[in-house]
Amino acid sequence: MRGVCPYNEHVPQDAQAARLRAAFDDDRDADTFLLRLERYGPDLLGSLQAVYGDAADELYRRLTEALVLAFHERPADLKRLDEARLLRPDWLQQERTLGYVAYTERFAGTLKGVRAHLPYLQDLGVTYLHLMPLLQPRDGENDGGYAVQDYRAVRADLGSMQDLSDLARDLRGAGMSLCLDLVLNHVAREHVWAQRARAGDATYQAYFHMFPDRELPDAYERTLPEVFPEFAPGNFTWDDASGTWVWTTFNTYQWDLDWSNPAVFLEFVEILTYLANRGVEIFRLDAIAFIWKRLGTDSQNQPEVHFITRALRAALRVAAPAVAFKAEAIVAPADLISYLGRGEHHGKLSDLAYHNSLMVQLWSSLASRDVRLFETALLNFPPKPTTATWGMYVRCHDDIGWAISDTDAAQAGVSGDAHRRFLSDFYAGEFPGTFASGLVFQHNPRTGDRRISGTAASLAGLERALALGDDAQETLALERLLTLQAVTLAFGGVPLLYMGDELALLNDYSFEGNPEHALDNRWVHRPQMDWTRAERRSDPGTPEGRMYAGLQALIRARQRLPHLHASVESEVFRSPNPAVLFLARRHPLGTLLALYNFSDEAQSFPAAALTPHFARARDEITGAPVDLGRDVTLAPYGRLWLVAAAD
């Protein structure tokens, strides 16, 4: 590598290219880099100008230098992956894509342990492995790893950065991509940036929101919500060391970064390229909705967030285009779609976003045995760019917040407030006739918000059924779980399996005896992987065997259905039966109709609603023909993926 030439806005572009070319010893590498910069440079610079104004040109110069260095440091096999991904930009949208989400220590102890269990993931059909926060967090309480002390180090108990690179290499060889969390909004109070700020270093104090008195914090607080009202009320924390109030949206030990400082942006581009060059292919952009602060607002979903994401994406497209972004934005649908790109940002932001609304509506319909609110919510959902896709999930590491729109509820003929209260009562196990075993998380008396913790299996009734020794209820609980998974697998996007859901793992109440976890009941649904139960996954006489076999049948069916390519949107039909969700996917190779019974009783579905699409049908889950000469009967919590049958 030759010396890196600085960018200068006053130098003609051919001269700029010549100077950048001088930084390369290989003409092919120079051509590759310059072609990418020609393609994505305008997006990068334009986005920086929208956020940083006059400071953008100097930031662009420094970024270009950092990107050249990152390109040179990128291993050859990852450069080859870059070229392959550029030739197949829909790689995340393929029907064979299947995600698996786990905590390293709870799945396999260490990163080397994960490598040893890759055959298990391959058997399941996983192509995308998301390992929950594993970068070095602060000691003690750390919000489940989301209080990062060092972005360039792995937790010592999990392994080393070399172990992470080795795992990423083995995953690539097994056809799997590694996804890691990148916390954008905040760092741990113990991070070197925060420590230097606490010591009075003005350069690093500018990395944070620090205030000498309560005047501005109080003004901001008037419009800010509280994320953790029970154990972290308010949004600002007094810091004795610096003698200032510090913005701390989540916990007192998590210091919010000031993204209006161009130096913060540059730091994160260097972090992203460092981790990408160690084999991370997908970054979950944690708490991205919060990164820009504006007085008089809730400081979420501000326009600058999207320009910053666009600039980060453009930078990575130059240095490591194999990388994809997943937006962790648990916000209202109207705001969520912006994280995939709307208007001038169309198709230029994150490649993937969580479809939180789908998850909420799954559990809502399961409790109510009624899909009309589900239909309304999906019908009101704005369309996404065809270049981006959804991450769909039944459960995740977090609590379930009942993000149900009052507008959607009113259109469906229910009270939003009453329905949210019903769902909290139902899944907390307090509603008469409930099957669920869950825990209330973060009750806010001021707003009435009561979120829910619990594994999918316990929320779906398996815990109660096994405690009672009730075989019929056990069967119903497993069928509930399989129908929820079927919706996510066939909705179109990247289905994300949360560790243990393939075995129907139950709530783990041992968290109450761990001082670091006892105050956060979300650990009830973060159990240790039960490898003894995993060994029984082929035994149809066990709950785990029945769950695993049913899920595998769904996954295998998904893999052979081009209808499930994520560029195609699912269409929602108003169902003639309020207990049955009715979805369609119109693909050039044919239409797929999906029916899901959310009731514990058999349901009849009129054949007349199906015959306009095809005269003869086959269920792709079982391979069995379906007689459309009469109404179709779905078993309790039954599911059908119908395609046209050959004559």
The set of catalytic residues is 286, 328
* Beta carbons of 631 and 606 less than 8 angstroms apart: yes
CB count within 10 Å of CB 535 equals: 10
Helices (H), 320-398: 333-336, 356-368, 372-379
Helices (H), 456-509: 456-459, 462-468, 471-490
* Amino acid present at 19: R
Report the alpha-carbon distance of residue 134 to residue 182 in Å, rounded: 10
Report the alpha-carbon distance of residue 77 to residue 82 in Å, rounded: 9
Report the alpha-carbon distance of residue 113 to residue 510 in Å, rounded: 23
Strands 128-131 and 236-239: unpaired
Tokens of 438: 């869950």
Longest dimension (CA), the chain: 79
Report the alpha-carbon distance of residue 155 to residue 145 in Å, rounded: 9
Report the alpha-carbon distance of residue 620 to residue 598 in Å, rounded: 19
Tokens of 601: 């009783």
CB count within 10 Å of CB 629 equals: 8
Report the alpha-carbon distance of residue 596 to residue 312 in Å, rounded: 40
Residue 301: Cβ-neighbour burial (10 angstroms; 0-12, 13-18, 19+): buried
Strands 282-286 and 324-327: parallel
Which residues, listed in sequence order, are joined to residue 284 by a DSSP beta bridge?
181, 326
Report the alpha-carbon distance of residue 484 to residue 471 in Å, rounded: 20
Candidates 285, 287, 200, 306; CA nearest to 244 is 200
- The 10 Å CB-count burial string (b at 16+, else e) for 548-558 is bebbbebbebb
Which residues, listed in sequence order, are joined to residue 78 by a DSSP beta bridge?
none
Tokens of 452: 């829910």
* Beta carbons of 597 and 580 less than 8 angstroms apart: yes
Report the alpha-carbon distance of residue 369 to residue 217 in Å, rounded: 45
Measured torsion, CA atoms of residues 533, 537, 538, 540, in degrees rounded to the nearest 10? 90
* Amino acid present at 252: T
* Beta carbons of 181 and 286 less than 8 angstroms apart: yes
* Amino acid present at 78: L
Which residues, listed in sequence order, are joined to residue 226 by a DSSP beta bridge?
none
Which residues, listed in sequence order, are joined to residue 596 by a DSSP beta bridge?
581, 639
Report the alpha-carbon distance of residue 299 to residue 498 in Å, rounded: 30
| Secondary structure in 3-state letters for 391-423 | EEECCCCCCECCCCCHHHHHHCCCCHHHHHHHH
Measured torsion, CA atoms of residues 510, 514, 515, 521, in degrees rounded to the nearest 10? -40
* Beta carbons of 285 and 184 less than 8 angstroms apart: yes
